[in-house]
Every structure is written in C-alpha cells, then in structure tokens.
Amino acid sequence: MVLMMDSKVNKILQSLTLEEKISVLAGKDFWETVSVQSKGVPSIKTSDGPNGARGAIFTGGTRAACFPAAVCSAATWNPRLSRRVGEALAEETHTKGACVLLGPTMCNHRHPLGGRNFESFSEDPHLTGKLAAQVVAGIQSKGVAATVKHFAANEQETERLSVNEIVSERALREIYLKPFEIAIKEANPWAVMTAYNKVNGFHADSHQFLLKEVLRGEWDWKGVVMSDWGGTNSTADSLNAGLDLEMPGPTRFRTYKAVKEAIMNREVSESTIDDRVRNILKLIEKVGGFENPEIPPERSVDDPKHRDLIREVAGQGIVLLKNDHDVLPLKKEELKGKKVALLGLAKEALIHGGGSASLHSHYRISPWDGLRSTYGDDVQFKFAMGAHIYRLLPPLSAHCTDAEGKAGWTLQFFEHGKHGKPVQTTHGHKEAAFSALGGFESKFRDLQLSTTFIPPESGSHYLGCSGLGPTIVTINDQVVFHQKGNCEDAMAFLFGGIPEEEFNYSFTKGVSYQIRIQTSPPEGGNDQGGILAGLPGFRLGFMNASKHDEDLVSEAVDVARDCDYAIVFTGHTPVWETEGQDQLSFNLPKDGSQDRLVDAVASANSKTIVVNSTGVAIAMPWLSKVSAVLQAWFPGQEAGNAIADVISGAVNPSGRLPISWPKRIEDSPAYGNFPGIKKDGQLTVKYDEGVFVGYRHYDRLSQDRVQFPFGFGLSYTTFSLTGGRVSQSSSGVFTANITATNTGKQAGATVIQLYIGRAQQSSDHPIKTLAAFQKVFLEAGDEKQVGLKVAPKDFAYFDEASGEWKVDRGRYEFWFGQSTQQVGDVVSVDIEGTRVMKL
C-alpha cells in the first residue's frame, strides 16, 4: 500500500510545473488547500477544532456537536473514552465536508492564567500524551487527519504572534515536547501545526531544531507540517525548516515570485520544494482526496450516539472537590418536596471556551434545564442571577434608526484614507458592532457606522468602545472616544476578549442623538494582526446606569435563605476564557462579583453547593464556607444533564484533577515569569522553572500551599490501594502491581496513579513523576489486581551534557496513589547500572 501510494504521489509530483508546485504550498482560502485540477490534485478542506468540527463559519454556521473541552476529557483519566471521542470527532468532521481536523490541542498548562489552557489536556506531559494519542488514533481510524498542535511551547496568549520563549533543552524535551513525542510515536498523526510564538529566538514555523532535527529527524515523522492561521513568518526559512503548508490562503510568503526568487538566490532548493509538495500530496492520498475529490456541502447531523458519549465523558470528567457531611448526592427521593435555589450562571450553558474551540452547537443544556428535567415537579427550583458576569457591554442596537428611517444603523465602506464617496453602503445594520470576519470585502477599507438614537429614558448611561485599528466615536459631533492606535490582539478582539474602559454619558429621554463611529484597519505591520491584518472591526457597548449598577446579590441571598439547598453556578463565559487573551485574574469575574455572591449565599444557607465551570484553577476565598464543590470544566452540549447526573447520584463522580490547584497565584511555578517582560518592543518570557512545572513544583512546597493536588478527586464511595510490588523483566520493562479495593457502599471508580522518583531526593530532579495510570471501576466491596507496565523511558530525564535520556543507577521509589498527596503504597526498587536510551 505504501509503495502504491508513493508511486501515485511521485507520478503526480513529476507532472507538476514549478509554478504548480509552489501554488499548493499555501492554502486557497481560509479552510481549503489549492487544487491543480489539470494534474489531478484536488483541494481538501480543514476544520476547527479540538472539541467539535465547526465547519467554515466562525459564528452561527452549520450546527455541530460540542464535545467536552480537552481539560474535561483529561479529568476522566480514561484513554478508552479519548479513543471514542476521536472516532466521533472524525464522524463530525465528515459532516462538515472536511477531512483534516485541527486538533487535538496538546500544549501543557504552564500557568493557571493561560487563556487557552482549557483547550489542552493537562500540566503533565505523560497524561497529555497518552490521552492525545488515543484521540488521534480515533480520528484517523475513520480516515480523517488529526492535526496535533501547537508545536511547540505555546503556553500563553499574550502577544502570542511574537513572544519569545526562552526554554532550556531539558525542559523542552521533558515537558513541552514530550506530549507530542508520545502522540507521534504511538498514533502517528498525519499533520502537525506549528505555534505562533518564538522558541529561543526563532519562530516555530521556521525552527530548524524543532522541525528538522527533532520532529523529522530524531522522531522520523513523515506527515504534513502546517502553520497556525497567519503563523507563517518567512519564505525560504520556513520551507527549509520543514513547513509544508502555509495557512490560510491566499499566500503571503509563498507567491510564485517570492519562492522563485528564493530558488534563484539559492536560498532554497527545488528538491526542498519537492519534499514539501510530496508531503501534501501524501496527506491528500491518506484522507482519500484523490478517490473522492469533491468537497461535499456541510451538514448538521445530531447523532444520538454522540449525545450519549458527550454526556458520559462529561460525567466522568466532573471532579468532586469537596463534600462535607456527604451533602451530595441530592437523591431524588430525598429531595421530594424541597426547595432548591439555583443561582448565578444556572441558566447559562458554559459548554466551551472562546476562540477556535467555539461552535454553533446542536443544543445547549443549562444546569437549570438539566436539573429540572432530572427532578421534575417533585422539587421547587428558584432562580436568581446574583452577579454581573458580562465582560463587554452589549452593543447598542435598540432605539436606533438608520439613514433611511429604518431600524438599525447605516454602514459605509470607504477607500482607505479617502472619505469622499463611499464604495458601498448598507442600511439596517442591526447593532453597533462589525466583526473583521464579517466580510473580507472590507479589507484595507475604512468604515463608518451611523445612526439616530432616541433614548427611552433620561439619565447616565455607560458606554464601552474598542476597534481593531484607530477608532473615533462621536455623539452630536462631539468626540466621546478616540482610540489612536491598534488593539493589543486582533484575534482577542474577534473572540470578544479585549477589555474596554467604560465611561458615562448622560442622555435625555426622547431627544435625538446622532452617533457616528469611524474606524480604520490596523496601522503599520501590526504584529498582533495575523490573519486579520488589514481588516477593520469595532464595537460600541451600551447599558443604562441603573441596570449596570444594580444590586443582584441581595435578591440571591433572599432566595437562598428561603430554600433547603442553594446551588451557586460560577465560571467563565467564552469571552472571559478565550483564545487570544490570558486570564485577567485568578479570581472569578466580574470584579469579584461571583466571589461575593458565593460568600453571601453561604452565609445565608448552610447547605450551599458550588458548581464551577472554568478550564483553569481559580481562587476560592469562600471554600471553607460552602458544603460542596464540583468542578465541571466546559463539559460540552450535554453540560446541564451531566451536572444533574452527578448532583443526583445517577453518576458517581470519578473525575480526577489533570492540573494542580494552588491556593494563591503567587505559589504557581511560573509566577514572575508570565506573561514575560517587554524590552525594545519584544516580549520575552523565561521558563526559569525548568522542569518543575505543576505538581513537580508543588511537591517541593509545603502542602498548605495547594488547594487541591494533581490527580485529586472525591467519590460517593471510598477506595484503598494495598499490596504494591514491582518486578523487572529481562527487557528492562517494569511491572507494578497493586490491589485496588472499593471500601465503600456503592459502585464507583478510582484512578491508580503510579509515580516514580529517586529515593534520595535531588534538587535537580522532581521528587516524583507520573509514569503510568489506570482507571478502575469496582462494585462496592470488590477488589481488583491491577498491573501497570512502565518502561525506563517513562521516568528518564534528559541530560543536556550528553544529549541523551538517562535513568541513573540507584534506588527508586514507586508511589501508588490516588493523587500526588494521597499515596496508598510505596515500593523501593534498586536499579542497577546507568541506562542510556533514545526515546
């Protein structure tokens, strides 16, 4: 089969002219590759993303299934579920006419404020690699290419297009490259996407060490390397390093003229061009593009099997963090006739984070819907919002009239810098906002949005404004807002994450106000523009002061006081936790309002339960006051049903934290080195913590610095681990055996976590490192013998001096635990001799 593929690919390659070869090295448009129809080369379509196949439209497009975010999937610690998720994602990809899925995302959680952490699995490279490998295997078993991303060290969103990350080779090898290495060697993904950032001074898309020496050299990987969207930064350098495909199209760096000139100047060879093209043709072959060259239209297929899988994964991923006096579960028969307050974000379905992970889901089950469906009319539920959670004021839309006297705004396009006659005018634009992706016909054009606003009431109102480029807002020809430069991050603007400074303006009821917004595309090179360079965008938020300053807590407290139980739903909406911007604070938004809500409700009701939906750890200043806490993550479109399953006891929680949960942000390992220091226009972040990321760091601190340790999670039953023993085969592989027992009164599951570390601790090495794990399901009173296989490579370290992986001679401890701090048994093993290996 391989020989036949190579023969077909080589035949097509030999038939292509140089110009045709160069044309396929970049995308045709936002999602598709270039075709050469006369030579039998079809276009193939890609699609976001890591937790569902969205299709071509960013917002409001074809409906799709929304799966739990990777961090929620990781909390299951269940590779079998990851494999099934991969298979389902491939089926979803086919419904969108695509054959390349841009996922999974698998960079490590370096810092709790990482804006895109939710999209990745864990702080631990072993857990990430093992789960991601199963997702990849599942995707590709259905003939769809998985694209592991972002290679490499893409752990922050702040100035992500240009930030320079200084990382030691040991930390790169052991922490940041290790997940990719595991996935590549165990599942062979057909595509890898490079990161936006620089690593040790070089952009990832043209990084000789990462792409040529490690990925294609040491790991002997043969697939397609594509850029992140807008993440190509050179012509010859990226080609020589191994970047096959520039995305999206049309090309910026791989025009025929630019590449031909590079060849003429001997900056790149024609054989290198052939190598790049060959890889793309092989990918087309793998996904069946030559046999089925037509790209079918997108379809919305709401598969019941996918519904069930999403609910199962979410249920296993929800982590019970606290359960004083066994307040949970709230069993249906015991709750009959009771009153329950559902507060905060109870009517919000927090199913995904913002950015590439967002999609138009088939449906969204909120906790309010899920709990009412579960308990029916036997329980009286009461609701109060209790906190302001908006990040941006909603765009001004009501009571506005355009130039034709119709509801809405008049939108005009002008040639850039020429505000004479507009080149295009649209009436009836519904609100004071324009997305850069609303239409590429706006590229390199200035925009003006105007309306007549007649307020329905007098008094002070709040306004909030922002633009991609220079923006001016006038009311009755008076300038009320002037943004002179570009926004900090164009993609963050697109995903609703740019913070806006609110200001007051007093309106009089019934009086006409002429409001005009003028904006231009970002000026200069705009390193933060990326794929949005040259595109304008703006928004004008608006809210009445009485609503803006409304006291919501008092009502929630009154409701809670009147109920038998109070469940407060907290978390991040997609604009608060999103691609394009790191978290503003370790505390829940907005401005502490959610923390104040929980604290006040807990003071009013002794049976207060918190259900938190974030992809990251958060501060919990109210933890000692509440009875129970569930971490629900972003659990996909079945969110409310999965949460209700755990609260009601239909599902016994078995989720375990894939991250460490510090009490204070100051105790996190990268504190002081995130998001970096800017000097002479260059943001640089030093990974000075080295390999001591996550629990590797917290293990060296006193336990009172950690709110919840890595691997932690409670159950409605209890487990014990006993009788640990370790043996080693002649091949060097260790077998670690342990007995797991369900010591409680109902069926449940625990995760056996095997950590390995030196008996004699060293400041140069972590105290222990996760080397193997297995999720075990047991009936009440049952026990099971579990054997875990561990190769020396699973706990080796990278020795920079020799450039090799090593396990030093000496005594090692094998820790059998249910978290890094809940250890059931420890077995000491003498390892003779120094073992040196290439992974």
Catalytic annotation, residues: 228
Q: Rounded to an integer, what distance in angstroms lies between the CA atom of residue 38 and that of residue 20?
A: 10
* Contact between 106 and 183 (Cβ < 8 Å): yes
Burial profile 462-494: b = 16 or more Cβ within 10 angstroms, e = fewer = bbbbbbbbbbbbbbeeeebbebeebbbbbbbbb
Token pair for residue 592? 């502490």
Residue located via tokens 């040196």: 836
Q: Using alpha carbons, select from 191, 248, 213, 230 the residue that is nearest to residue 28.
A: 248
Q: For the chain, what's the residue count? A: 839
Mapping DSSP to helix (H, G, I), strand (E, B) and coil, where does residue 731 land? coil
Q: How is residue 56 written in tokens?
A: 């071509």
Phi, psi of 639 (to 5 degrees): -50, -55
Alpha-carbon span 691 to 181, nearest angstrom: 16
What DSSP element (H or E) covers 673? Answer: none
* Strand ranges of the sheet holding 783-790, from the earlier edge strand across to the other edge: 719-728, 734-742, 783-790
Six-digit token pair at 557? 């407290």
Taking the C-alpha atoms of residue 521 and residue 529, their distance in angstroms, rounded to an integer, is: 10
Distances (CA, A) of 7 to 12, 35, 291: 9, 20, 15
Determine how β-strand 400-401 pairs with β-strand 46-47. unpaired
Give the separation between CA 392 and CA 806, rounded to whole angstroms. 51
Residue 371: half-sphere exposure toward Cβ, Cα within 13 Å: 29
Q: Are 553 and 600 in contact (CB under 8 A)?
A: yes
- For 603, the 3-state DSSP assignment is helix
Residue among 672, 737, 766, 665 nearest 707 (CA) = 665
DSSP 216: I
The one-letter amino acid at 522: P
Is the N-terminal amide bond of 306 cis, ω within 30° of 0? Answer: no
Burial bucket for residue 8 (CB in 10 Å: 0-12, 13-18, 19+): middle
Closest to 285 measured CA to CA, from 5, 692, 645, 590: 5
Angle CA 770–772–775, to nearest 5 = 115
Q: What is the DSSP string of 443-498?
A: TTEEEEEEEEE--SS-EEEEEEEEESS-EEEEETTEEEEEE-S--S-HHHHHTT--
Q: What is the distance between the alpha carbons of residues 421 and 424, in angstroms, rounded to a whole number?
A: 9
Axis-axis angle for helices 304-317, 639-648 (nearest 10): 50
Q: Can you tell me the distance from the alpha carbon of 733 to that of 277, in angstroms, rounded to the nearest whole number?
A: 41
**Closest residue by Cα to residue 827 from 817, 835, 838, 816:** 816
Short-list 467, 609, 642, 597, CA closest to 538: 467
Pair 330, 648: CB distance under 8 Å? yes
Cα angle for residues 791, 792, 794 (degrees, 5° grid): 70
Radius of gyration of the chain (CA): 28
Which of 45, 146, 155, 10 has the alpha carbon at shortest distance from 582?
Answer: 155
How far is residue 517 from each of residues 65, 402, 411, measured CA to CA in Å?
37, 13, 10
Cα 785 to chain centroid distance, Å, stands at 36
